[in-house]
């Protein structure tokens, strides 16, 4: 196995420390701020929300990533999004970065910021400042510190999300190989829809890699992972995914799209996919993960559009919640997705752990055994496949069911 899953998250790679604290920004009785700090300046790459309305920390981070292309720390808070806050929100970003820079002894332009929570209010500066001081004082490179940070950025998430991998690359001195690490954490449960990363996600690596290749790998991987999950079709104002590289692993730096680059990109894909799928399954109120695989499509883009349409359909989501194999809805959601296909030739399947049921072919919904279908629909991960019979391209999208609890959570989120 070239890429090995290892325990941990953002502190798995060499040169990264993390911390968290309870700053009382909105939540009480829990941690609500996290910091990641690197021992050295890092190459940084990022993707951001496609929403025209971008929260202040998103605008701040875009500036750092696109202009500086390097960073050394990340400060994140949960509870208030610092979105739709105008100049006051940008001012808070500047002061937060100044504060972290002073505590860490780095330039303010090397500090990345992230916020998640309710749109509108401005975060009290004194709580952020006080939080940053605590965060800087408690940084640790232990696995536990990374895990605690992943918990501090949660909002309506029910589980924290962190994954890490290790893989081997040629060493810088040419004497053999070195082990490289890549790990990340993310939060996201509602206001999730594929259009640039769709949540807060932070990934660290000790792999030495050129910054433009780092951005290239991230942009490629996002399309197949974070952009393929949907909870409710709402693209947030705050979505941010960042990857920082400390280059401390001792590998021969990746400077071109060679074999080492492919391995790095595969490792990045592995962590991003696990984070993304876990987020989809932890969608607000969810009781099932929905996995929609489209195969034999004419183009990758069409396969993605078809898969996302089904995973995002309210009627499919409600049907999965009810364990009701009302499978015509899957055909319907493919039909309004946009790409052309021939309804007379495609085939649709539900895929259980040990059972596969074809429920549509030859232009008609097929008769199937309801007990077998109920068994498949009762699994936590409910999987469907559409065989488009047009080509060789495929894509998978992930979502979750639509439940009473989604309505409850979002009918009264502010209080």
Told to check if 314 binds a second copy by CB under 8 A, we report yes
Residue in 293, 308, 329, 383 binding a second copy, rule: CB under 8 A: 329
Closer of 129 and 236 to a second copy (Cβ): 236
Q: Closest separation between CB of residue 388 and a second copy, Å? A: 12
Torsion angles phi and psi, residue 125, rounded to 5: -60, -40
DSSP states of 339-390: S---TTT-EEEEE-SS-EEEEEETTEEPP--HHHHHHHHTSSEEEEEEE-SS
Told to check if 406 binds a second copy by CB under 8 A, we report yes
Told to check if 176 binds a second copy by CB under 8 A, we report no
Q: Closest separation between CB of residue 363 and a second copy, Å? A: 4
Told to check if 374 binds a second copy by CB under 8 A, we report no
Site string for a second copy, 87-126 (x = CB under 8 A): xxx----------------------------xxxx-----
Catalytic residue among 155, 198, 235, 403: 198
Q: Closest separation between CB of residue 347 and a second copy, Å? A: 12
CB 77: neighbour CB atoms within 10 A?
28
Told to check if 343 binds a second copy by CB under 8 A, we report yes
- Distance separating alpha carbons of residues 329 and 310, to the nearest angstrom: 8
- Distance separating alpha carbons of residues 405 and 415, to the nearest angstrom: 16
Residues making up the chain, counted from first to last: 415
Q: Which residues contact 137 (CB under 8 A, 6 or more apart)?
A: 19, 103
Site string for a second copy, 226-245 (x = CB under 8 A): ------xxxxxx--------
Residue in 24, 170, 328, 391 binding a second copy, rule: CB under 8 A: 328
Residue in 137, 177, 258, 363 binding a second copy, rule: CB under 8 A: 363
Closer of 380 and 414 to a second copy (Cβ): 414
3-state SS assignment for residue 117: strand
Stretch that binds a second copy, among 12-20, 38-46, 256-264, 322-330 (CB under 8 A): 322-330
- Distance separating alpha carbons of residues 264 and 249, to the nearest angstrom: 13
Told to check if 59 binds a second copy by CB under 8 A, we report no
- Distance separating alpha carbons of residues 190 and 235, to the nearest angstrom: 9
Stretch that binds a second copy, among 9-17, 129-137, 170-178, 340-348 (CB under 8 A): 340-348
Q: Which residues contact 73 (CB under 8 A, 6 or more apart)?
A: 35, 36, 37, 38, 100, 104, 106, 110, 111, 112
| Residue 403, both tokens | 């439940």
**How far are the Cα atoms of 163, 210, 291, 300, 364 from residue 371, in angstroms, in the given order?**
37, 55, 21, 35, 20
Told to check if 350 binds a second copy by CB under 8 A, we report no
Told to check if 304 binds a second copy by CB under 8 A, we report no
Residue in 29, 86, 105, 176 binding a second copy, rule: CB under 8 A: 86
DSSP states of 138-198: T-B-SHHHHHHHHHHT-SS-SS-EEEEEEEEEEBTTSSSEEEEEEEEEEE-SSS--SSS--
Tell me if 414 sits within 8 A of 331, measured CB to CB. no
Residue in 40, 53, 159, 358 binding a second copy, rule: CB under 8 A: 53
Active site residue 198: yes
Told to check if 256 binds a second copy by CB under 8 A, we report no
Tell me if 56 sits within 8 A of 90, measured CB to CB. yes
Catalytic sites, residue numbers = 198
Q: Under the rule (CB under 8 A), what is the footprint of a second copy?
A: 50-54, 81, 83-89, 118-121, 190-191, 193, 195, 232-237, 312-315, 318-319, 321-322, 324, 326-329, 331-336, 340-341, 343-344, 360, 362-365, 402-404, 406-415
């Amino acid at each position: 196995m070239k890429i090995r899953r290892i325990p941990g998250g953002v502190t798995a790679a060499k040169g990264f420390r993390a911390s968290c604290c309870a700053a009382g920004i909105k939540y009480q009785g829990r941690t609500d701020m996290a910091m990641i700090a690197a021992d050295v300046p890092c190459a940084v790459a990022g993707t951001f929300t496609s929403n025209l309305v971008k929260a202040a920390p998103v605008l701040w981070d875009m500036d750092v990533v696109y202009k500086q292309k390097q960073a050394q720390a990340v400060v994140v808070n949960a509870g208030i999004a610092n979105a739709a806050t105008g100049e006051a929100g940008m001012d808070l970003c500047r002061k937060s970065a100044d504060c972290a820079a002073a505590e860490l002894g780095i330039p303010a332009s090397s500090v990345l910021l992230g916020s998640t929570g309710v749109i509108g209010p401005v975060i009290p500066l004194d709580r952020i400042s006080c939080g940053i001081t605590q965060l800087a004082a408690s940084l640790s490179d232990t696995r536990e510190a990374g895990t605690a940070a992943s918990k501090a950025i949660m909002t309506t998430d029910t589980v924290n999300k962190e994954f890490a991998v290790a893989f081997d690359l040629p060493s810088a001195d040419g004497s053999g190989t070195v082990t490289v690490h890549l790990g990340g954490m993310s939060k996201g449960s509602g206001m999730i829809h594929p259009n640039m990363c769709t949540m807060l996600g932070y990934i660290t690596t000790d792999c030495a890699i050129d910054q433009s290749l780092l951005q290239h790998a991230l942009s490629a991987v996002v399309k197949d992972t974070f952009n393929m999950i949907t909870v409710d079709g709402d693209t947030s104002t705050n979505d941010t995914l960042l990857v920082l590289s400390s280059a401390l692993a001792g590998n021969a730096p990746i400077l071109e799209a060679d074999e080492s680059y492919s391995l790095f990109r595969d490792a990045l894909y592995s962590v991003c996919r696990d984070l993304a799928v876990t987020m989809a399954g932890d969608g607000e109120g969810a009781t099932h993960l929905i996995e929609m695989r489209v195969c034999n499509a004419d183009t990758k883009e069409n396969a993605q559009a078809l898969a996302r349409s089904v995973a995002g359909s309210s009627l499919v989501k409600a049907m999965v919640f009810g364990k009701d194999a009302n499978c015509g809805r899957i055909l319907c959601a493919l039909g309004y997705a946009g790409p052309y296909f021939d309804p007379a030739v495609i085939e649709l399947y539900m895929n259980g752990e040990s059972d596969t049921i074809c429920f549509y072919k030859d232009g008609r919904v097929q008769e199937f055994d309801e007990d077998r279908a109920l068994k498949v629909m009762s699994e936590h991960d409910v999987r469907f496949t559409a065989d488009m019979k047009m080509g060789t391209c495929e894509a998978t999208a992930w979502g979750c069911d639509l439940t009473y609890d989604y309505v409850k959570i979002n009918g009264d989120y502010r209080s």
